[in-house]
Amino acid sequence: MTLEIGGLTVRFGGVTALSEVDLTVRPGELVGLIGPNGAGKTTLFDCLTRRVEPAAGRMRFEGAGLEGTAPHEVAGRGIARTFQQLGLFPGLSVRENVMVGAHRHGRSGFGAAAIRPGRVRREERAIRRIADEALDRVGLLPLADHPAAHLPHGILKRVEIARALAVRPRLLLLDEPVSGLGHDEIADLARLVRDMHFTSDIMIIVVEHHMEFVMNLCERIVCLDSGRKIADGASGHVRRDPRVIDAYLGVVPWASPAGRP
């Protein structure tokens, strides 16, 4: 029941975005994915969510290949992600955003919705319950009926995490969850991710530039540089790895509070 990536290679025209990346993630693991801009971190997420077609390599999730999965079937496989730039639906309310996250837990389409029999109403209530649970988990239930726009950035980031949680994923991909957040909000978010990590055995992969956040949160760190995996191991080791320091961290990363060298 793991995620296994082997020899994953992605090319955009002449540029190699990912080059023979191997990665295995086991249930209950919380992996930090770091590396300089353009290292291929988001491209890896895009491969896993089938938005980018790899040139070579294989991806297996829970024993079955991901290659034949259509982009809209990814959620059904139990994979959810957030986006680097917010990927919310600003014209919908916070709750409706999260309810779209629970889309895969329902079946009814237009025809049934038109006449709204009891089955559809029950399903609608179930979806709403899943959404409210997810909102409660990130502490945003009081804002459920607010439009998912014109709210502080940190709150919108949490809405997106709630939406991903409503998928009830077994693999959660967080793309820069704390970018643009203030100090306290980062601490809150770290607590939230740690809580998700300890209370369930889902796999979580976090892409983040904020080194303090990643180093404190993740016991395992993977570092990409120019599409290649240059380090993979316990956070204490990775941050002393000369190649990682050379490619990304700079001199003494943990001395810089912003984390960016």
Partner 1 sequence: MSGVDVAGRTGHRRLAVGQVAGDRRRAWPWPRVTLTALAAAACLVPFLLEPYRVFQLTMVLVHGIALLGLNLLVGHGGRVSLGHGAFLAVGAYGSAIMTTSLGVPYPLTLPVCALVTFGAGLALGRPALRLSGPYLAVVTFAVAVVVPLVIKRFGAVTGGSMGLSTPVPVAPSWTGLADDQWLYLLVLAVAVGAFAVARNLVESRAGRALAAGRENPAAAEVLGVRLDSHRTLAFGWSAMYAGVAGTLYAWVVGFVSPDSFTVTLSVVLLAAVVVGGPGSLLGPLLGGAFITFVPAVAQRAGDALPGIVSGVLIVVVVCFAPTGLAGLLRMAAGAVTRRTGRG
Q: Identify residue 136 by its one-letter amino acid code.
A: D
Report residue 51 as tokens: 């938005």
Residue 106 in the binding site for partner 1 (CB under 8 A): yes
Question: Which stretches of 157-244 are assigned E, i.e. beta strand?
Answer: 171-175, 203-207, 220-225, 228-234
Task: Tell me how crowded residue 168 is: count the other CB atoms within 10 A of its CB.
Answer: 18
Q: How far apart are CA 183 and CA 26, in angstroms?
A: 30
Residue in 2, 6, 36, 141 binding partner 1, rule: CB under 8 A? 141
Residue in 100, 155, 185, 194 binding partner 1, rule: CB under 8 A? 100
Position of tokens 């997106």?
160
Handedness of CA 248, 161, 18, 37 (dihedral sign): negative
| Cβ contact 2:28 at 8 Å | no
Residue 201 in the binding site for partner 1 (CB under 8 A): no
Residue 145 in the binding site for partner 1 (CB under 8 A): yes
Report the SS3 class of residue 214: helix
| Cβ contact 197:218 at 8 Å | no
Interface positions, 30-49, toward partner 1 (CB under 8 A): 49
| Nearest residue (CB) to partner 1, 71 versus 180 | 71
Residue in 13, 63, 109, 242 binding partner 1, rule: CB under 8 A? 109
Residue in 5, 17, 99, 178 binding partner 1, rule: CB under 8 A? 99
Residue 81 in the binding site for partner 1 (CB under 8 A): yes
Residues 6+ apart with CB under 8 A from 181: 153, 154, 157, 189
Residue 148 in the binding site for partner 1 (CB under 8 A): yes
Q: Report, in Å, the least distance between residue 206 CB and partner 1.
A: 17
From the list 17-25, 89-97, 204-212, 249-257, the region that binds partner 1 by CB under 8 A is 89-97
Q: Which residues bind partner 1 (CB under 8 A)?
A: 49, 51, 71-76, 80-81, 83, 87-93, 96-97, 99-101, 103-104, 106, 108-110, 113-116, 120, 123-124, 127, 132, 135-136, 141-150, 163, 167
